[in-house]
Amino acid sequence: MPSSFHAEIPGHTLHVIQRGHGHAECFFSPDDRIAYLRWLGEYAHHTASCVHAYALMGNHVHLLITPSVRGGTAALMRLLQERHSRHVAEFWQREGLLWEEGFDATPVHIHRYVLACMRYIELNPVRARMVSRPEQFRWSSHRCNALGEENELLTPHSAYAVLARSAPARQAIYREMFRNVKPGGTRRRAAATDEQEAGFGFKG
């Protein structure tokens, strides 16, 4: 069962955080991340869930998901956790739990907070000082949402779609949300700023 999970409402967006067991690493090569994203796409389709944004960090994952059916997100995360755990156990001969048994899911009830949540998710690699700009991080949705890089995994959220009529115009407006990102700030201060903009706090 999820460790912190609000009841799913079909059509209502959730910010999901899946953490490694004991805060340990969950990805050990680029192929691990490629496989995770492939299964995320497969299981999202299988569970009638739409993925709008993501960031695969070292020991946790952020996802922005809208389920179309009740229980879709819970089923998606269970399938994804089980399949990726088997992959790591078989390929790397690693024993023990890979992921925490549960996950956190925070409803993004207010439409205008969706874009702030997407920004929060895609800035995680910058706050973690893995990269200095979000577009430098290969394992997030930013290159698709901000630069138009093709990504079949993603479904544009309606809050993103209404930014402009054309895709290039939407991407330009979305990029503006990241224009003042300054690398080198403290992680705590940067995270607090983004959480305040989003209207609520996120764990992870």
Q: Mind listing the pLDDT tens digit for each residue in 158-169? A: 999 999 999 999
Average pLDDT over residues 83-101: 88
Question: Looking at per-residue confidence, does 192 or 33 come out higher?
Answer: 33
Percent of the chain with pLDDT over 70: 85
CA distance linking residue 138 with residue 122, whole number of Å: 11
Least confident of 147-156, 170-179, 190-199: 190-199
Q: Residue written as tokens 């409402």?
A: 9
> What pTM, to 2 d.p., does this model score?
0.86
Cα–Cα distance measured from residue 38 to residue 95, given in angstroms and rounded to the nearest whole number: 23
Domains and CATH numbers, the chain: 4-197 (3.30.70.1290)
User: Per-residue pLDDT for 53 more than 80?
Assistant: yes
Helix (H, G, I), strand (E, B) or coil at 59: coil
State how far the Cα of 16 lies from the Cα of 77, in Å rounded to an integer.
9
Q: What is the mean pLDDT of residues 77-83?
A: 94
Q: How many CB atoms lie within 10 A of CB 149?
A: 13
